[in-house]
Homo-oligomer: A and B are copies of this chain.
Amino acid sequence: MTDPIAPGGTIGILGGGQLGRMLSVAAARLGLKTHVFEPGANPPAGDVAHAVTTAEYDDATALEAFAASVDVITYEFENIPTAALDLLERHRPIRPGREALRVSQDRLTEKTFLSDLGLGVAPFAAVDSAEDMAQAIEMIGVPSILKTRRFGYDGKGQVRIDSRETAGSALDSLAGAPAILEGMVDFTSEISVIGARSSRGDVAAFDPGMNVHVGGILRTTTVPAPIPDSLRTDAVLLAGRILNALDYVGVMGVELFVTPAGLIVNEIAPRVHNSGHWTQNGCTVDQFEQHIRAVAGWPLGDGSRFADVQMENLIGDDVSKIPALAAEPDTALHLYGKAEARPGRKMGHVNRVQRDERAASG
């Protein structure tokens, strides 16, 4: 535990996408500045950050100047090169810590960690060779999913195996990348819980939401998730266990499968998470401010849910709906300032809010 960063201080953010953008806005609300480090030009976070460094992650000079200008460093994505982290950590604390990154950067490490914690995960096996593949298929069966251990997101780096005959070609399609074979989980729904842990070890969690993915990309998150209270409690406790085990500081997204036998952890993301965007219009303190509070050493804020919300991502051509969405009642629009609407690109989201009638009419 360290002293809180006082208003006027600066949070360094690795990555300048929409998550960094919304983190910057949350920091500003608390009187904190942000400095965004991002290799790409004109990053979405740049519009609202106090400072932007445009440089590659192997540019030691730029990294050192960045570190010197900030009080603490956080990140909006998990695949940051290790050498860059090593360098940065010599100058400033990185929150959430290195252990959370190490665990979540590698699907095999992550599954092993979760399993060792006693949490339910899909059956899994490491696959580094055709021989491993044969053994893994023998153990796990089909259908199953072969995934690269690193650098996967939004369904990329994954191939589904429906018959034993296609196992070889599936492995070939990953071009030798270290992989993991995972058994399919027979789930009734996917939910996620956004947990937070402060530098003092206080833990909080937002109400779990139900996620619907289309084509491997999150489409909607709905709160409250239509699950029994007992599962809601299980999800929150399970998130707390993960946060404590990692001595975590910040916000984490935990994706879960709801099955007849209980909850299965799909994956964890050591950062603010797309499935937590509903908190912007459903809570006094949203996931972005909660993360900033945690990494700045502040107490966690009030994240209790006060409304039913459905978050819907605006992907690619969905931007054509913006004029209509802007005129919808009970709808909050959140756009990321991206110029080009490529297919599959997250351009923004809307939160559709349903509030108690009595309060709304007041």
Contacts and interface: CB of A to CB of B under 8 A. Distances in A.
A282 B7 CA distance: 24
A164 interface: no
Contacts of A305: 360, 362
A170 interface: no
A92 interface: no
A322 B326 CA distance: 35
Interface in A286-336: 293, 298-299, 301-302, 304-308, 319, 322-323, 326-327, 329-336
How many copies of this chain sit in the oligomeric assembly? 2
B332 A284 contact: yes
A334 B50 contact: no
A207 interface: yes
A24 B326 CA distance: 18
Given A31-B348, A33-B47, A326 B339 contact: no
A356 interface: yes
A284 B21 contact: no
A48 interface: yes
A33 B337 CA distance: 8
A178 interface: no
A82 to B, nearest CB: 31
Contact of A7 (B33, B308, B337): B337
Given A7-B322, A28-B25, A330 B284 contact: yes
A360 B306 contact: yes
Nearest to A351: B284
A304 to B, nearest CB: 6
A30 B302 contact: no
A308 B28 contact: no
B362 A207 contact: yes
Contacts of A298: 326
B30 A48 contact: no
A336 B293 CA distance: 16
17 contacts: A7-B322, A7-B335, A8-B337, A28-B47, A28-B337, A29-B335, A30-B335, A31-B337, A293-B326, A301-B333, A302-B331, A306-B353, A306-B360, A308-B362, A355-B359, A356-B356, A356-B358
